[in-house]
Amino acid sequence: MTPLRAIKGMNDVLPDQVGRWQRVERLYARVMSLHGFRELRTPLLEPTPLFVRAMGEATDVVEKEMYAFEHHGDALALRPEGTAGAVRAYIEHSVSQREPIVRWWYAGPMFRAERPQRGRYRQFSQLGAEVFGDEGPGCDAEIIDMLVGFLRELQVPGVEVVVNSLGGAEARARYRAALVEYLTPKASSLSAESQRRLTTNPLRILDSKDDADRAAAQGAPTLIDVLDAGDREHLAKLREALDALGTPYSIDPHLVRGLDYYTRTLFEIRGAHDKLGAGSTLVGGGRYDTLVKDLGGPAVPAIGFAAGLERLLIASDLEGPSSVVDALVAPLGAKAVAAGLQVARDLRGKGIRCEVDTRGTSLKSQLRRANALGARIVLILGDAEIAAGAVQVKDLAAHSQETIQRDQAIRVVVDRLIAAGRTVDSPVKASATDYTAPTTPEEDTP
């Protein structure tokens, strides 16, 4: 019998790692909140045609990477990206009728049936956002600057922003024609892949990694040359705003992205090249001023981006939390366990994370466990303490220990933890029916 295992490219995240995930997610939620974005949650499963129409028939994602299937006659697909669902929800709920500008963020798993690699998985998570109803370049600049700030908070080294403009649909069509005209005479020198692309998706030849392709593309006309006046002004204003913000970026006229819906501003943010190798794109985004209309909604301009959470985690130097609990209750002997459970319940009522070691093992092994859990305080309850109505409060970091009366012990522990920098919730009642889970001392919610 073959052992049960997770699907290729779909990974478990064990608790040791979840701490880092949560840290990044909370930081993101906070950044979003500070910028007036509100969270959107959409289904993981959508009608396949939504993605086909949003991203384009000829895109690789649609052609070969979607988990698409039929269920009772419906064509369904696991979402390969977040924008299509967000736009669908925006249209479906007539949101444009209620609010002129909408800022939404989302976080969650996406699915693409690609060959896994470091930082690229079949189920992966994206942190994304969309702004509907603001076509100004200032909005583009704000988003880019916000993302750079976010990556800085994540301590991602080597962050660089690359910007390009794809222009509107007309400009792109004009450019496509010019590019094909320029490259066709050189077709024989192109890679086989690019010769095929010449008819299917010529823009992609621009960011080919093949040397011959690069040489051929070297002198090609650039998109920026064929932009119309409005597109040019948009780009110029974006650059002005970025310069004013002091956000470093570079213009790469060869930057092209794989989805058809982009218009005008297109950007990528890369970082941590040494850790991510070829897949160092951390965030990709851009404007999609016609997509809402193309999907049957009103003519509302929009811009969005998505960041790969797994890549951010590889790139980020942030560490996860080191402690699981603040305190460990160490009862010695069977009689002490019941008393220990009471002490623990009282601690939790004050927002102290704690665990009771009910194994009945030696004090030594309980202290070892306290160490492993990162507990600062150990409350020792043996026969002598119970007889005296007391408890030993041991501070592992301070190497101190004192005998405290039971009714004073909770206050002493709280004081010690607060003195050590732990923030503790305001007291709540701790009973079986009125119990509030202690929040972790982790940061981040504003």
Among 157, 277, 360, 427, binds RNA (CB under 7 A): 277
Q: CB under 7 A: which stretch of 43-51, 148-156, 162-170, 394-402 binds RNA? A: 394-402
Cβ neighbours around 347 below 10 Å, total: 27
Between CA 181 and CA 174 the distance in angstroms is 11
Q: CB under 7 A: which stretch of 36-44, 90-98, 318-326, 366-374 binds RNA? A: 366-374
- Residue 241 CA to chain centroid, in angstroms? 26
Cβ atoms of 297 and 324 closer than 8 Å: no
Site for RNA contains 384 (CB under 7 A) = yes
Site for RNA contains 54 (CB under 7 A) = no
> From its phi and psi, is residue 389 left (phi > 0), alpha (psi between -120 and 50) or beta?
left
* Backbone dihedral angles phi then psi of residue 283, each to the nearest 5 degrees: -135, 140
Of 364, 371, 372, residue with least CA distance to 380: 364
Q: Where are the alpha helices (DSSP H) in 201-287?
A: 211-218, 223-226, 229-245, 273-276
Q: Which is nearer to RNA, 135 or 207 (CB)?
A: 207
- Parallel/antiparallel/unpaired status of strands 327-331 and 354-356: parallel
Tokens coding 268? 């990528």
Tokens coding 219? 């002198």
Site for RNA contains 320 (CB under 7 A) = no
> What angle do the packed helices 229-245 and 137-153 form, to 10 degrees?
40
Site for RNA contains 120 (CB under 7 A) = yes
Q: Which is nearer to RNA, 207 or 444 (CB)?
A: 207
Cβ atoms of 32 and 59 closer than 8 Å: no
Q: CB under 7 A: which stretch of 115-123, 221-229, 241-249, 418-426 binds RNA? A: 115-123
Q: CB under 7 A: which stretch of 26-34, 199-207, 408-416, 418-426 binds RNA? A: 199-207
Among 71, 98, 115, 429, binds RNA (CB under 7 A): 115
Of 37, 153, 156, 159, residue with least CA distance to 443: 153
Site for RNA contains 114 (CB under 7 A) = yes
Tokens coding 247? 């956000």
Among 32, 50, 51, 119, binds RNA (CB under 7 A): 119
Among 145, 289, 310, 326, binds RNA (CB under 7 A): 310
Of 88, 63, 69, 67, residue with least CA distance to 79: 67
Between CA 139 and CA 54 the distance in angstroms is 22
User: Binders of RNA among 69-108, rule CB under 7 A?
Assistant: 81
Three-state DSSP class for residue 39:
strand
Site for RNA contains 28 (CB under 7 A) = no
Taking CB under 7 A as the rule, which mask of x and - marks residues 230-269 in contact with RNA? --------------------------xxxx--------x-
Q: CB under 7 A: which stretch of 84-92, 150-158, 244-252, 384-392 binds RNA? A: 384-392
**Nearest approach, Cβ of residue 213 and RNA (Å):** 7
Q: CB under 7 A: which stretch of 14-22, 26-34, 55-63, 293-301 binds RNA? A: 55-63
Residues that bind RNA (CB under 7 A): 3, 5, 8-9, 59-61, 64-65, 81, 112, 114-121, 124, 126, 193, 197, 201, 204, 207-210, 256-259, 268, 277-279, 281-284, 306-308, 310-311, 332, 361-365, 367-372, 380, 382-385, 392, 394, 396-397, 399, 401
